[in-house]
Amino acid sequence: MIMDAVVAIALGLTPAQPGTAVRMFHFSERDYAGLLGRYQEDVDARGITHLRGFDPRNGEPFELAVNARGRVEGTVGDTYVIFFVREAA
């Protein structure tokens, strides 16, 4: 579920403020597919998770890389994004 949150933040679908928890609503997988669109998730040999897909609102491609420490870096359309995530305690 955290990768859904990463995609939602990167696409601007979930507001996020530094140091605060992101509130994700509990929808079915089908509902998330409608909100987030479909995306691919792959893990490379270094343990970096790569998320690739298209913004369902405007069709812009996104490509994000999430490392083991929670650093997210990538592009959404022409926008370059960097932020950090971690599981809530």
pLDDT, average across residues 4-16: 83
pLDDT at 26: 58
Q: What tens digit of pLDDT does each residue of 39-74 get? A: 999 999 999 999 999 998 899 999 999 999 999 999
pLDDT at 36: 80
* Domain edges within the chain: 2-84
What are phi and psi for residue 66, nearest 5 degrees?
-120, 120
At residue 22 the predicted structure's pLDDT band, cuts being 50, 70 and 90, is low
pLDDT at 39: 92
Stronger pLDDT, 6 or 31, i.e. the higher one? 6
If DSSP states are collapsed to H, E and C, what string results for the chain? CHHHHHHHHHCCCCCCCCCCCCCCCCCCHHHHHHHHCCEEEEECCCCCEEEEEECCCCCCEEEEEECCCCEEEEEECCEEEEEECCCCC
